[in-house]
Structure 1
């Protein structure tokens, strides 16, 4: 068993009933604190100190997806106070505690694994538990046993889908939490388990260069549609000698792709406005240098076929101008 650094997204301070009772609180006291908003029940016998939060655990200005992640981490940490010995948090809960993306995952109940060779799983209203071998894959995060990043990613790919696994894998590799070789080893070890074909497909689909979930998803869409795989995070020179880094680049077509995710332009209105203007100026310079630029947002994921068609159309247009494979 190894030890890893704690995740950065810890929830509000939690206390068990025993903690509160040792502090002199009775059942009635706890009920009054819940009614006043100073405590929030997370699960049976575990409470969050929620005086600084809004109703239901919300925080001012917090995006919905961040709130869902934080509360899922909170439920996972709360479960760690009450589960039986030998329970190791895994799958989505392990990704959350490692601070990795949770794209496409069910965040209603924590997920864990117990060391049993027989396989299968069982679900209660508060916890989903798989029965799988855990030899050599357990780490500690702030005293909570979790499966290592590579194992957690492969488990998610098997049970939730390839996209969810690759989104987490790209960021894990980028942050140095695991390597493609680690992922391959865990995929090989998953032989005979549910969804092993997805697990085996994952390592070759990963890249430590993707900077966001949106970039990962767009890359998967275009590559799995049979389009050439783009180069990632390439620096392109424009007039005057400036060099701009772009998210995707197909060099034979001089085609650039940019993913405009939630945080690309900052947080405050002034910062967003300033960065948006700078980005549009940057695009104009790229186009003046002869590059074609396509931009995508999260809304474009609602129609993946449109993403593929746009790339193909721009490639064909460039080929008519003498670029692309025909010009090689």
Structure 2
């Protein structure tokens, strides 16, 4: 096992060297290390197993345990908490917190933006209302971080179709701009669907779109060009933003949309 064919991930836990040590692989390995103490994958590790696309790239593997005497190896986040039986489920042989419990845990920590991103992704993917987090908070009265749950729930939008779409929406809303409509359908004068916009201010005919890498294939670029032409013909103004824009120039985005809202449609 000490040869070049295997990685030593955690004490007594090895993986083949060919396995990419992404969050899911590290989380599975952490579960093998902790299962003797009844550990359950939680937080972003649960997201990775559940298929939710919200964990940060550098998120540590996270284990929820009921005992306080354990010391985790470097790279594992160990969290002591009490989990009810209905707050856990098995995913491909691994015990993880349920989507609702995972959203509840992530909504209570980290930045406000990261919390809303996690709730949007989990609530949209697993079809529960963000307000259910408030019901869970009543069952866990006094838990750390519960005071900000109402704000997270108010900002959440399960219809968001991507993490970056949520982040673009939060750039606007947290700066004080009106809340845009999510996944707004634009129809032509005959009632035919022209486009479904990520974010929109319909009364102003303003659309905002997050442009991920998938928008830059030749086929998608051609479709987008046709769609933008039809939107412009209907009097819509389309603002397109990239990941770099959202993270590096949020102030400019807010200023651009403020100016757009100030002009008549």
TM-score by length of 1: 0.72
Work out whether residues 122 and 128 of structure 1, in 8 Å CA contact, stay in contact via their aligned partners in 2.
no
Q: Is the 8 A contact 2:172 2:254 kept in 1?
A: yes
2:98 is the alignment partner of 1:133: no
Q: State the distance in 1 between where 2:218 and 2:111 align.
A: 37
- From 49, 65, 86, the counterpart of 2:38: 86
Q: Offset of 1:122 from its aligned partner?
A: 6.3
Deviation sequence 1:245-267 (CA, Å, 0-9, x none): 111111121111111123345xx
What's the counterpart of residue 62 of structure 1? none
Equivalent residue number for residue 102 of structure 2: 152
Shift, 1:186, TM fit: 2.7
1:221: which partner in 2?
A: 171
In the alignment of these two chains, the number of paired residues is 261
Corresponding residue for residue 257 of structure 2: 311
Alpha-carbon distance in structure 1 between the residues aligned to 2:137 and 2:7:
40
- 1:159-198, aligned counterparts within 5 Å? 159-198=109-148
**Contact persistence 1:154–1:165 (CA under 8 A):** no
What CA distance in whole angstroms lies between the structure 2 residues aligned with 1:121 and 1:191? 25
Tell me by how many angstroms 1:155 deviates.
1.4
What is residue 285 of structure 1 aligned with on the other side? 230
Q: Secondary structure at the match of 2:213?
A: coil
Query: What whole-Å deviation, never above 9, does each CA across 1:274-327 have from its counterpart, x for those lacking one?
Result: 211220221122112101111111011212211211111101122xxxx4xxxx
For residue 9 of structure 2, the aligned residue among 19, 35, 42 is 42
Change (3 A) 1:82 1:124: closer
**Stretches of structure 2 lacking an aligned partner (at least 5 in a row):** none
Q: CA deviation at 1:217?
A: 0.6
1:261 alignment partner in structure 2: 212
SS in 1 for 2:159: coil
How many angstroms does 1:189 deviate by? 4.0
Would the alpha carbon gap of residues 224 and 250 (structure 1) be closer, same or farther in structure 2, given more than 3 Å must change?
same
Superposed displacement of residue 92, structure 1: 1.6
Distance 2:74 2:24 in 1: 16
Provide TM-score, normalisation by structure 2: 0.87
1:97 to 40, 49, 67: 49
Assess, with a 3 A threshold, how the Cα gap between structure 1 residues 152 and 276 changes in structure 2: closer, same or farther.
Answer: same
Runs of 4+ in structure 1 deviating by more than 6 angstroms, as ranges, are none
Shift of 1:197: 2.7
Q: Which has the larger radius of gyration?
A: 1
The unaligned stretches of length 5 or more in structure 1 are 1-29, 58-69, 266-271, 324-328
Residue matched to 1:297: 242
